[in-house]
Structure 1
């Protein structure tokens, strides 16, 4: 009897708790009992705990197993090997016919194909959550959204299942999400603590916002530096969703934001006005209604940016869909105090759930309209291209095959049509060689993405930017390019074939030679140094008689003598070939040290390359983004391990175990006077510091270097201004991210491997140092008219013209290399990465 009473009590409690959850999230709704609820599967109500990603995926697997209306697909994996998944939900007939539905839908993106009957086509709706891992309400809302859509017996759920294919992406950033999930759960109090100062609400460095390599994935839809977005974009172009919901969180004292964003000022210049002026407003009414029903406050048309193409809410706008950013005031834990009282995790989840359902409802109600808009978008792309004076862009660097391939791959990943250039041309003073350059026609469905890759924009409707104001990818890649008033090419490039590499046949050689111009030459060098091979670098150019005939080698070229090696000639050749194949390098050999022109191989202007022993300081007070960019760059492009040491451990380090210290942006206030003295002593005895942006200000404040700032302009604006204008006036003086033309000294060790004196650089700070007092140590300085793309105020532009982009401070026998402009920004500035490589490998040559 007692056993039966216990069972009844447990059943009562279970149904009571389930009812409590349903009353809060789904008041008055009935659900299919054959579909397990989140509470039944996870053992807690959504909002009581943060759900680990593996449990979330397990629940999605259970849903797909339990219902014929769902299918779970794996579209990739993260750096930490977590699966990237999409749960697809629709009526049974659609699930069984997904491939035909997809193919028919894709026809809408090709104006050459017959228009399908859109009245018979389901809406394609993508709900994407938790691109920032510490914005967790979205991932929890994905669980409830999937359950509701599969199990709800409401008429709205039935209508959506009948007329849509819903693609639920529960977490674009699983690695970061789990980092934050574990943090919040392990610091949860019982009862939970609402005090914003509680440890639960204040993550340690790095935060869960970022992925494995500490990248912000919501900036990666355009550059595709990270595996998560590489997988996402490949999947995206297999579907071209009509509507994409992009769910975020913001500060705890905020309410809820949904589009439209700020008119004109926050809008992308290539997106049709129809998207912003008609479609956004059409959808906004659904979101307002959903939040009004539960009494949640919200706002629109302010702050949040839709201009940068690399956002998850902007990229769909440039692909004929509607991208929608949602921002929920965050509890950053289980409950947190705000100006409106305590904000619970469940409250934030419910708002995201309501707008998720509203997104699906709007997508279904506006289904035929959005299908027609998708076709119209690509049709108007062709018609707009016909009015563009530029009919094609030609690009290519004849000296850097690897960087060409990287840029080609980016274009192909974004479905941009590219053709081989079939003739030698000179345009705008740049030479484009047949076989080493390519042509992109503007007349193609992806015309608007072509503009995003090549256009330089310097005029704007607003002067305040949430993020970057320029994103010309051809400049980021340092790619020589020019616009043409005609298009002439025949062979389209659809895949990149493996390049054929030159390697000398077996013979007696004095030395092997490698041109440092190729992007992956540093990978080759690191591979050799790691294998114990002695390598030297030439400070001046030379022309040598090689196994492939007469070859010119610029300053920075590598010389691998057959003498002075610890290995025999056969092992040397083997190591060289391994490194060449891995890095995609052409290797040449010469039987003589007497060169035809320039310095000889035994010149005093040839010196040994040391093995880099690199330490990077990270942790609280330093930029997780810049540190991650450096880590990712050296991991993936060089294959070189570096020591990443938390600032708090600096007291344990002996700097003399290293020859290079990297300081990402930050103010290293945790270091005490004796530790700073250790840095000064090590530096003066020959160490190399590579300093980025504000780290150079810290070095200056500690008198480790003694450089000079540019003085502020005397004209700082009006003496009096309205309080309401403060954001616009002050914001206009910020440099959110713009591109400038600099002059590069290619004879300086930092300039090794470059052939062109002009170099685009990216600036996103208002730090202005004067050029070095040493006339030889400012290898990168701005030109007289430097602005290439983006917004900058006139006073700041004048300061840019007078300041240094990269300069070197000699300190005793050592040096500090200052990068005031980040050469590794977002993992996509391939054009300036080599400056950073040179700082690591040739720092002691300065």
Structure 2
């Protein structure tokens, strides 16, 4: 970058009046006139409007059309059916030879294959932009970077085309971007208003940060809950880029952040130290130089997280590349006042443009070094695995074939090798049957991802966390698993399908469906939706079925043929279709007299009502919590729930609903009239499902009266501490996301479908509530030694050990089901999802 604009005060009101786009963003550069700039294509200067995603794609399509050095690829779709695209740019010879280049790059990540000649291999650079929709500057920077790379006549641009392949993802989160762009453009003034209080700078709930289902996609590279991330990870593993960027925005009064992050305290334990102590430092010198040239303030080595492996800037670190996070001060609109003057949208864009160029130059200069590191990363993964005492992990849930399938598919999506288990294994307190469980060997290229999936992290260099401090995905899936020193793996899996079963053809007195499978609730909902009468057996029994004598646990679904409005032929025909779609095994019986346990006409058998669920959303409610519940019901059950803004509740008749979900949040703005109606609805039999801090609001309203945990001898804070220690001292008191072992009461309806008394749960709240005074109504509490992984202070661990995970609070003829641990965290805590399903389908039985 040349110092043509050193006289500009980059932190003040930078107006580009009098400067062309090229002069402002690329001072002193000359460009090929055959390639249109973004402003020429769009009809407005970059930074004067927020560009809609479809126009970004159309600009990339134009570059593809005009230049043989550019190729646009659609790699997937969002929930709202916007295309996910990658624009690939390189010299013509490389573009005509991309597949050979790709295969050689993948060969570097395959230790069993010969090391290719890296001397002529291009650097593989992945520039990722816009994972948070309301951090919009990076997507504008993506267009400018693509333009510069194709049109600039500079030596650097020519060198990059010659010796690199650049993949540009302009917007990781198109749905969120368009939600924010519409807001910013619709509320723009002429001239724009810089006052932070202006509507333009204050989006309506849930804002544009998240995707369609209000998920933060920058946490989804590991969980892979959403199609945006699934397609991105699939693409990532076809290329194994040497460098991947992740561009963001932060507070308007900030400056600019680039890596390195906070040493040790923010670093992932499975990533080689070379990444942090060598590679990061090499690249930082380029960012420093580029930012100095435009006189833009910046900072490093603070706050931001490199430990959680599910960011766009951390997942590449566990794949032999370098992931880089960048954060710029945000105008959150077109111009906004800050402590340094007015911050313009153009200024925020320029910061990301120069660091896009800096990243490419650094990757180019370190091309062979990064190729060598990619091979070294996977070579050392193999050597570390061979030296480990753990030779494999064995896992499998013998009661839940659908959840097994989901977990195996998940591992394979991350390129982890999974094998059939061909022998009976007892390990970690579990029995794993041959043919009904799986083996993940540690001796494989993805050894570090294997550790990520199965290890509990319990030692930390810091006690303050930017995000989650635990991410053991086997626990998230509620999967019985154990480290194992032995062998016994069978065939390697190339794919896995959900189970399928033959539907019974005999004349049935009743049909029976075990509730243990993950998709049994989906079966129930769709059967009820089709008008089929379903009952539940609230005790264990052994029935004579079409498959012989079968044991069934409490919670089993029973479809009595003598109480159907539909004909027997219609019922069996519909059930056959539903069972196939939901992967459920349906048994038939020709008698109501069971071989053991209660009979099918027992008083412990009762009809199930089709739920109609309302969830409160809007101001004060956690959009993350609400979105996770919404997505779970949509994607896994296919059951609609009614979402109502908190300020619209006063117009509703709550008696139209069987259950009301209160996601974690602050409900203090609800009117007195609504609260009275709400109390009346509960007292007349309603079921409230409450998450996190919503339970505190219920306490304040007198709807429930559970008691907080208080330690007999609480640890007293020091009388005085240095002011500079305040963040670390107070931050250490938070529970930022950690995993614990809970004890289930298997006889309680909240635990129907579970066959083991223990279950890993995820906690990201410091709300500690004592078990219920009613000895029957704390169906999920912690074991005597609950800690599994993540950070928690000693004092909080003492509180947690005395507290409840789930409490049922009766209120009149109704009840509140309190979840103090998050059963739906980030869309992949499949192990605890059934607790929520049970609350929805069986809530009226729980007290």
The interval holding the TM-score normalised by the smaller chain is over 0.9
State the Cα deviation string for residues 440-477 of structure 1 (Å, max 9, x = none).
00000000000000001111111110000000000000
Contact 2:328/2:352, CA 8 A, preserved across alignment: yes
Equivalence for 1:63:
63
State the Cα deviation string for residues 290-343 of structure 1 (Å, max 9, x = none).
100000010000000010010110000000000000011111000111111111
Equivalence for 1:118:
118
Equivalence for 2:12:
none
Equivalence for 2:601:
602
State the Cα deviation string for residues 317-374 of structure 1 (Å, max 9, x = none).
0000000000111110001111111111000000000000000000111000000000
Residue 810 of structure 2 aligns to a residue whose secondary structure is strand
1:814 aligns with 2:775: no
- 1:719-758 residue pairs with structure 2 within 5 A? 719-758=719-758
Contact 1:520/1:584, CA 8 A, preserved across alignment: yes
Take 1:528 and 1:46, find their aligned partners in 2: how far apart are those partners?
53
Equivalence for 1:314:
314
Equivalence for 2:708:
709
TM-score between both structures, scaled by the size of structure 2: 0.97
Shift of 1:425: 1.7
Residue 563 of structure 1 aligns to a residue whose secondary structure is helix
Take 1:77 and 1:838, find their aligned partners in 2: how far apart are those partners?
32
Equivalence for 1:424:
424
Equivalence for 1:627:
626
Take 2:18 and 2:79, find their aligned partners in 1: how far apart are those partners?
36
Take 2:495 and 2:18, find their aligned partners in 1: how far apart are those partners?
52
Take 2:760 and 2:138, find their aligned partners in 1: how far apart are those partners?
38
Residue 578 of structure 1 aligns to a residue whose secondary structure is helix
State the Cα deviation string for residues 649-708 of structure 1 (Å, max 9, x = none).
111100000010000011112211111010100001000000000000111111111111
Contact 2:257/2:300, CA 8 A, preserved across alignment: yes
- 1:435-834 residue pairs with structure 2 within 5 A? 435-505=435-505, 507-711=506-710, 714-834=714-834
Equivalence for 2:290:
290
Contact 1:90/1:164, CA 8 A, preserved across alignment: yes
Take 2:502 and 2:615, find their aligned partners in 1: how far apart are those partners?
36
Equivalence for 2:835:
835
1:137 aligns with 2:137: yes
Residue 415 of structure 1 aligns to a residue whose secondary structure is coil
Take 1:486 and 1:311, find their aligned partners in 2: how far apart are those partners?
34
State the Cα deviation string for residues 758-813 of structure 1 (Å, max 9, x = none).
01000001001111111111011011111100000000000000001111000111
Contact 2:405/2:497, CA 8 A, preserved across alignment: no
Contact 2:308/2:468, CA 8 A, preserved across alignment: yes
1:54 aligns with 2:54: yes
Equivalence for 1:13:
none
Superposed CA RMSD? 1.0
1:273 aligns with 2:285: no
Residue 384 of structure 1 aligns to a residue whose secondary structure is helix
Shift of 1:488: 2.1
Take 1:161 and 1:789, find their aligned partners in 2: how far apart are those partners?
46
State the Cα deviation string for residues 227-256 of structure 1 (Å, max 9, x = none).
100000000000000000110111111100
Contact 1:529/1:611, CA 8 A, preserved across alignment: yes
Contact 1:620/1:647, CA 8 A, preserved across alignment: yes
Residue 817 of structure 1 aligns to a residue whose secondary structure is strand
Shift of the 673–497 alpha-carbon distance from structure 1 to 2, 3 Å rule, reads closer
Take 1:249 and 1:337, find their aligned partners in 2: how far apart are those partners?
16
Contact 2:628/2:826, CA 8 A, preserved across alignment: yes
Shift of 1:429: 1.8
1:249 aligns with 2:273: no
Take 1:457 and 1:668, find their aligned partners in 2: how far apart are those partners?
35
Equivalence for 1:107:
107
Take 1:646 and 1:497, find their aligned partners in 2: how far apart are those partners?
39
Take 1:490 and 1:671, find their aligned partners in 2: how far apart are those partners?
59
Unaligned runs of 5+ in 2: 1-15
Shift of 1:509: 1.7
State the Cα deviation string for residues 502-546 of structure 1 (Å, max 9, x = none).
3211x2221000000000000000000101111011111111010
Shift of 1:490: 2.8
Unaligned runs of 5+ in 1: 1-15
TM-score between both structures, scaled by the size of structure 1: 0.97
Take 2:135 and 2:435, find their aligned partners in 1: how far apart are those partners?
47
Shift of 1:717: 2.5
Equivalence for 1:216:
216
Contact 2:500/2:584, CA 8 A, preserved across alignment: no
Runs of 4 or more, structure 1, over 4 Å off, are 16-19
Take 2:361 and 2:250, find their aligned partners in 1: how far apart are those partners?
25
Residue 805 of structure 1 aligns to a residue whose secondary structure is strand
State the Cα deviation string for residues 265-305 of structure 1 (Å, max 9, x = none).
00000000000000000000000001000000100000000
Contact 2:132/2:209, CA 8 A, preserved across alignment: yes
Shift of 1:388: 1.0
Shift of 1:489: 1.1
Contact 1:251/1:329, CA 8 A, preserved across alignment: yes
Shift of 1:19: 5.3
Shift of 1:498: 4.7
Shift of the 37–19 alpha-carbon distance from structure 1 to 2, 3 Å rule, reads farther
Contact 1:18/1:39, CA 8 A, preserved across alignment: no
Contact 1:546/1:591, CA 8 A, preserved across alignment: yes
Residue 209 of structure 1 aligns to a residue whose secondary structure is coil
Take 2:699 and 2:502, find their aligned partners in 1: how far apart are those partners?
47
